[in-house]
A and B are shown apart, each in its own frame.
Chain A
């Protein structure tokens, strides 16, 4: 039975890889046809984008990853759009998702404004720097750096553990001075959790790098926010995940403005992607009950790895 399940998983994985490759070939041939004036109409692109990002949205929820971290590597790897426009779209896609989730998480007191604000100040300032550097660097260098970053994210996703309630003996002086603490009720057990954090200045320093990368590559930063908040700073897992999602709405806003003001936003790319991923996430949440998250997570990590290798290849030989 186990070997049958394994075979089915491998089969689904192979189909997903095949679909991605098909998409890439189709997109390249369609772009060539359009360039020669002899091919499909412009409308095929929004439709294709919507379908791909819809599937991406489902995969992101089931795989426990952010839509933003999937968008840039997959779209830049398999669609003909220049990386400048993909990054602009990626930031807006991640931003829209965070804006949609933010109000509910704040009202439920799972996302903490007190935890987020000092972190957001650092991350948003440096995401501006990252966006400016990313737009100034030659595309090949950004492509190579993106490929390496995506492969690093895959390793992090495979290796990183999670801690539901990290042990924090006492808050450090920064978090105590800023009162970066809170209280919430764990719904599954009814337990009331008083949380506090430590290693705050180390976390803030790392958020400099997170902001830089988010701005430079147009990625959402959830893949980094959660381990830093949870494993390093000691916030409970639910608080870390919720605050990370909310944090994206601030970090990505500042970088998105830089891309917007530099002309890197094409509505024909942004809007179907945004709608596709949000609808896909909506469906993904409903499928969560019946899907096997572990299997989907492996598929998502595999697709991300493939996209990372493609980005690296594009940067080195493209």
Chain B
């Protein structure tokens, strides 16, 4: 009876898998965010946009800001990851992407447990997050 209680008090297998991946991804993302930021502000790698230009432009709405500083939205930052400012997006993208990786990882765990409904929910969540991350959904701007 005690063993049954202990077993049911423990987190379910898919929850443990999710937590483990989330922990590693989150730590890696945070370390990258801080490291790349230090590289950026100390000027070890030249930025695409100077700090002064950013400071004089951040009062504008995003559409005008991007236009003035010749920055392309979406995943275009990948092509500029050699610049100090865009390098920061690596860690930020990792933090934003780790949740999707967690859901992808729990789908087979749920499927093996014959929990088809939650496997489907996890899959749908991956689709939603993937759609958001893809850059397909534009906003039109102001």
Contact = CB atoms under 8 A, between A and B. Distances in A.
B124 A268 contact: no
Contact of A128 (B14, B22, B124, B131): B131
A253 B62 contact: no
Contacts of B8: 183
Interface in B108-141: 117-118, 121-122, 124-125, 128-129, 131-133, 135, 137-141
Contacts of A31: 55, 59
Contacts of A177: 117
A267 B88 contact: yes
Given A254-B128, A258-B132, A274-B33, A85 B62 contact: yes
Contacts of B52: 34, 42
A268 B139 contact: no
B105 interface: no
A269 B69 CA distance: 17
B5 interface: yes
Nearest to B26: A99
A96 B60 CA distance: 26
- Chain B's interface: helix, strand, loop or mixed, by majority? helix
A57 B122 CA distance: 32
A37 B113 CA distance: 64
Interface string B7-22: 0111110111011101
A84 B85 CA distance: 19
B142 A139 contact: yes
Contact of A117 (B5, B34, B118): B118
Interface string B33-70: 11011001100000000011011101111100110000
Contacts of B81: none
B16 A92 contact: no
Contact of B19 (A43, A107, A184): A107
Contacts of B41: 43, 46, 268
A288 interface: no
Contact of A103 (B26, B30, B71, B88): B26
B128 A84 contact: no
A11 interface: no
B31 to A, nearest CB: 12
Given A43-B41, A82-B59, A268-B51, A261 B75 contact: yes
Contacts of A262: 62, 73, 138-139, 141
Contacts of B128: 121, 124-125, 128, 254
A45 interface: yes
A95 interface: yes
A138 B142 contact: yes
A124 B19 contact: no
A114 B118 contact: yes
Interface string A255-271: 11110111111111111
Interface of B: 5, 8-12, 14-16, 18-20, 22-23, 25-26, 29-30, 33-34, 36-37, 40-41, 51-52, 54-56, 58-62, 65-66, 71, 73-75, 85, 88-89, 92-93, 95-96, 98-100, 106, 117-118, 121-122, 124-125, 128-129, 131-133, 135, 137-142
Interface of A: 31, 34-35, 41-43, 45-46, 80-82, 84-85, 92, 95-96, 99-100, 102-104, 106-109, 112-114, 117-118, 120-121, 124-125, 128, 131-132, 135-139, 177-178, 183-185, 192, 249-250, 253-258, 260-272, 274-275
Q: Which 3 A-B pairs have the closest CB atoms?
A: A267-B88, A135-B139, A42-B51
23 contacts: A82-B59, A92-B92, A100-B30, A103-B19, A107-B16, A117-B121, A117-B125, A121-B124, A124-B129, A132-B139, A135-B140, A136-B140, A254-B128, A255-B132, A258-B137, A261-B73, A262-B62, A263-B73, A267-B88, A268-B54, A269-B58, A271-B33, A271-B88
